[in-house]
Amino acid sequence: MNWNLKTTHKGNPISEPVFVISRVFDAPRLVVWNACTRPERMTHWWGPKGTIVRVAKMDFRVGGTYHCCMKSPDGSEMWGKFAYREINEPEKIVFINSFSDENGGLARHPMVETWPLETLSTFSFAEKEGKTLFTVSWTPLSPSEAERKTFEDGMELMKKGWTGTLDQLTVYLERNK
């Protein structure tokens, strides 16, 4: 497990768990970047395996948002939102990730009440001999103790979920070279 040392507002050091997963894609960095920054492309791969992105609106700029609705095979819907903090094309995207309601308001995880309300997420894109090393880094943002523990205890489930999402991105990139 990775840890990110942070400081509270009172100056006391604390550590936050950091989830990291990487995948090398057989595609140029700009192709992978575009798959992550264009809503019409994200609808083909974003989310847990089996979900369909039903609605996707993106204002891709610092201060902008990505707001989407994912429909699962059982018909239930989950809304999510990114609030972009840093964009360094084509190397890095930093954003606050959260569940939301259909109007873009902050919402709790629909199935896990103690999931962190917000996570700080970083997508990194590194070029490697014509391929792209894509890394996702995820850490809870100002979590309560219960949220920190839920995040830490959920690392294996996050790995499974992100692996499925990255598998879908692999298929998308293979079809759209």
Q: Which residues 6+ apart lie within 8 Å of 162 measured at CB? A: 19, 21, 136
User: Residue 13 — pLDDT band, cuts 50, 70, 90?
Assistant: very low
Measured between alpha carbons, how far is 32 from 170 in angstroms, rounded to an integer?
Answer: 10
pLDDT of 38 over the 90 cut: yes
Mean pLDDT for the stretch of residues 97-124: 96
At 88, list the tokens.
């360094």
pLDDT tens by residue, 45-54: 999 888 999 8
The confidence score (pLDDT) of residue 1 equals 39
**What is the per-residue pLDDT across 127-160, written as a single tens digit (0 to 9) for each?**
999 999 999 999 999 999 999 999 999 999 999 9
Q: What is the mean pLDDT of residues 89-105?
A: 97
Please tell me which residue, 75 or 15, carries the higher pLDDT value.
75
Segment 72-87, tens digit of pLDDT: 999 999 999 999 999 9
Q: Mean of the pLDDT values across residues 95-107?
A: 96
Whether the per-residue pLDDT at 177 is higher than 80: the answer is no
> What is the structure's pLDDT at 9?
35
Domains recognised in the chain with CATH numbers? 18-175 (3.30.530.20)
Residue type, 123: F
Determine the pLDDT at residue 3: 39
Say yes or no to pLDDT of 114 above 90.
yes
Q: Sign (positive/negative) of CA torsion 36, 63, 65, 15?
A: positive
- Alpha-helical regions (H) of 11-126: 29-37, 39-42
Q: Name the pLDDT band for 12 (thresholds 50, 70, 90).
A: very low
pLDDT value of residue 59 = 97
- 99, 119 in Cβ contact below 8 A? no
